[in-house]
Structure 1
Amino acid sequence: MKTKLLGTIGLFIPLVAIAPSLAQFNTSNPDVFLRGQAKSCQGCNLRGADLSNTRRVNAQLRQADLTEADLSDSYFEGAYFTCADLTRSNLENAEFPYANFVDANLSGADLSGADLSKTDLSGAIIDDTTNLTGANLDGAKLWDARTIYQPGVDLSAIPRNDNIEDQRVRCNNQ
């Protein structure tokens, strides 16, 4: 009987040791992501979602609809917002070190006081309705994909290259 019990325990322990935590998975269910039970929610409808004061590292939110979402005071280090729609979203005082906003729509987004240091904003839609007041852009790759932000750079002097639009993969939000 002891041998049988030890065999059962022996099988159980390795399964527990290799079982990944639930938060490592991608989900297509926005509620699962919002509860923190999944790391990623690619292509999810998170329109108007409250993600304020949220802490996520390496989250995958590619092609997610975050229109009018609240990400204020949140922390998204290394997150992927590639092709995400963040139109009119609140990202005030949020931290996005090393995040990827390639081809994301930031039109009308409030990024005031946000930490965008070392982010990739290549091809991001940033227009005159995007609020970057007080945002930290140190070392960020800007929308022209060639310019790395240095303190004192006049952002309005960095033109959008309309020809580059033809060279990129089209996102669903454009």
Structure 2
Amino acid sequence: MNANPLAMLSKASLAIAVLAAIGFNPSLQAANPQQVEQLLKTGECQGCDLSGANLSGQHLLGADLRNANLKGANLIQTNLEGADLTGANLEGANLTASFATNATMTLANLDRANLSQAQLYDTDVQGASMVALILDNTNIFNTGIGIGGGEETP
């Protein structure tokens, strides 16, 4: 069997490039596993690094996530009822079909967060940053998020 050394080198280079992109990318592996476990066990993780964490489908009712880093986290179908996300970084997080009734997101970073099909009832978003927030088919009630062009008052 004659193996082409150039082809082998190309495959090795590709493998190294893939590992470098996936295996060593801090944004993909930034969540602190101990802090994820702490959140799931206690419901408290104030100031934790949960960036990129997969919390899809979790029941985080009343969770204390003040100032937590949830940048790029997967929160699809997560129940955040009554959760305190004051000052949390949810930039680019996926909250599709999540439930955030009575949640507090005061001063949170919701830039580029996906809240499609989410339920936001009585959610406090005062002072939150919402640049390029995705709200496709989102149910919003008694929450400080305006959709469309409302009337301006002089």
Same structural fold, with TM-score higher than 0.5 when normalized by the shorter chain: yes
- Structure 1 distance, partners of 2:103, 2:150, is 24
Percent identity reads: 34
Q: Secondary structure at the match of 2:111?
A: coil
**Cα distance per residue 1:57-109 (max 9 Å; x no partner):** 11000000000000001101100000000000000000000000001000000
Partner residue in 2 for 1:30: 35
Q: Secondary structure at the match of 1:67?
A: coil
Partner residue in 1 for 2:111: 107
Query: What runs of 5+ residues in structure 2 fail to find an aligned partner?
Result: 1-33
Partner residue in 1 for 2:138: 135
Which amino acid is the alignment partner of residue 139 of structure 2? Answer: N
- Structure 1 distance, partners of 2:69, 2:128, is 15
Which amino acid is the alignment partner of residue 32 of structure 1? Answer: E
Q: Secondary structure at the match of 1:103?
A: coil
Q: Which runs of 4+ in 1 moved over 6 A?
A: none
Q: Please give the residue correspondences for 1:67-86 in structure 2 after superposition, counting only pairs within 5 Å.
A: 67-86=71-90
- Structure 1 distance, partners of 2:93, 2:147, is 24
- Structure 1 distance, partners of 2:37, 2:76, is 20
Q: Secondary structure at the match of 1:57?
A: coil
Q: Secondary structure at the match of 2:36?
A: helix
Partner residue in 1 for 2:101: 97
Change (3 A) 1:49 1:139: same
Change (3 A) 1:139 1:50: same
- Structure 1 distance, partners of 2:99, 2:83, is 10
Q: Are 1:50 and 2:54 counterparts?
A: yes
Q: Is the 8 A contact 2:36 2:53 kept in 1?
A: no
Which amino acid is the alignment partner of residue 81 of structure 2? Answer: E
Shift of 1:37: 1.4
Q: TM-score, normalised by structure 2?
A: 0.72
- Structure 1 distance, partners of 2:93, 2:149, is 21
**Cα distance per residue 1:103-128 (max 9 Å; x no partner):** 1000000000101111001011112x
Q: Please give the residue correspondences for 1:59-70 in structure 2 after superposition, counting only pairs within 5 Å.
A: 59-70=63-74
Query: What runs of 5+ residues in structure 1 fail to find an aligned partner?
Result: 1-28, 144-152, 160-174
The two structures, once aligned, show a CA RMSD in angstroms of: 1.9
Which amino acid is the alignment partner of residue 42 of structure 2? Answer: A
- What number of residue pairs does the alignment pair up? 119
Q: Secondary structure at the match of 1:75?
A: coil
Q: Secondary structure at the match of 1:32?
A: helix
Shift of 1:31: 3.4
**Cα distance per residue 1:125-166 (max 9 Å; x no partner):** 112x210111111111x16xxxxxxxxx6445499xxxxxxx
Which amino acid is the alignment partner of residue 67 of structure 1? Answer: K
Change (3 A) 1:117 1:68: same
